[in-house]
Structure 1
C-alpha cells in the first residue's frame, strides 16, 4: 500500500466555523498520535506566522481551534491563510518538554489500584510497572485548568470509566480511563480510576505559566514512597521543589 503524501493528507482537512470569532481546523475523527502531530505542527506554524487578527489557538485530540478578531480578519481570509500554512514547505519546529513526575502508588494514595488490578487480571505491582514504564503524550489540556489528557495507556490497562463517578477527586490524583491517563490539577468531580497521586502542583494561577504542562509534552511517572511524597509535597508548597524536565523535539 502506497503511503499518502502530506499534500494528500492536507486535502482531508476541514475548516469549520465556530461562531463569528473562531474556526476549527479538523484533521480527522479519532485519537491518534499522527493526527496530534499535525495539529501541533499547525499550531506552531500559526504562532510563528503571527497572522493579523489571530488571538490564540487551542489544540485538541484531532483539531485546532483558532480564535480571531472579526474586525481585523474575516473567516474566509483566515481560512485561505491557514491553508497556506498547511501547504507551505517550511515547517515550523515544535518544541516540547519531557517531565518526570513523582507518583505514589501506595494504597493510601491509590484508592482504585486494587480494583484496577482485579479487573485487568494483573497484580498491583504489574499495573504500576506498566504505568511507570510508559512515556505518555499530552494530546490536550482541558476539563478543568491544567488537566492533561495523556495517551497512550498500555492495552492491558484499558478500562471504561467508573460506573459511580466521585463528586470530589483530590488534587494530584493520577487516573486512568479508556486508553488515557490524567492528573487532576485541582479538586473536582471525576469518573476515572484513581491509581496514584502526585505531590506536584499542576496548576497555579500565580505562576507566569499557570498550567505546568502543555500539549505535545511527554510525561513519565516515577514511583515514590508515602514518606517521599510528603517531603515533596512540603517542598512544592513552599516553592523549593523543582520538577525535572528536559526540552525535546517533537
Structure 2
C-alpha cells in the first residue's frame, strides 16, 4: 500500500487528490465538507483512508474547488456535483481494477451526495448530514430543534453531578426555564434543504447508510426532520461531529468497512 499525491482536472481547473492504493475491486471516495481540506478535521479522513486501504480497499480523497491545494472558488456544497464527478472519474482512471465505488461524506459533504442522488456511486455512507438552510461555512452553531433540546436535558438529568449542581444553585435558572420552554415548542417543518436531500436520496438505487453522532447537534437537527424509523440510520452514542475519540473513530471505520463489504 502507498499514498499518491497528484492533481486532476475539473472544468478547466486543477484539483488536488490523494490515493491510498490497495488491490481491491471496491473503492471508497471520501468527499470533504465545508472548508475542510482532504485530510479532514484532526486528520481524521487521512487516518480513515490509511486504515481502510490496509484492509484492501483503495481510497481516493480530494480538495474540492477553492479548498486546500485546489484551484478555483469554493462555491459551497450545493454546487459541488462537478467536483465529485471529476473526482470519481479520476479515481476510476487511477485504479482501473475498481468495479464498485462507495462515497463517504460528513456534514455538508453528505448533503451534497444526497442532493445529487448518489449519481455514479454503488453505495453511500452519509454521516451527520447538514440540513440547516445556511451553509456549513456560515455557522458552526445550528439552531437547535425541540427534539435536540429535550435530548440534551434528558442526558443531563441522568448525570448525578448535574442534579447536584441544580440543587446547589449552580445552574442559571432563567436559562434553564428558557430551555424548557424551547423544548416544548412543536417540531418545525422540515427545511426545504432536508426535503431536497430526501428527494435526491430516493432516486438512489444502491445501498446507503446514515451515521449519526449521538453528541452532535448537526446530527440531532437532521434527525428532527427525518424519519426516525429509517432502518438505514446507525447511531454512535456519545460521538462528536468528527469522531475524535478513539472508540468513535473505530466505530466509524467499522461502519465504512461493513458498507464496503456488503
Same fold (TM over 0.5): no
Richer in helix (by share)? 2
Tell me the TM-score normalised to structure 2 length: 0.28
Richer in strand (by share)? 1
Tell me the TM-score normalised to structure 1 length: 0.29
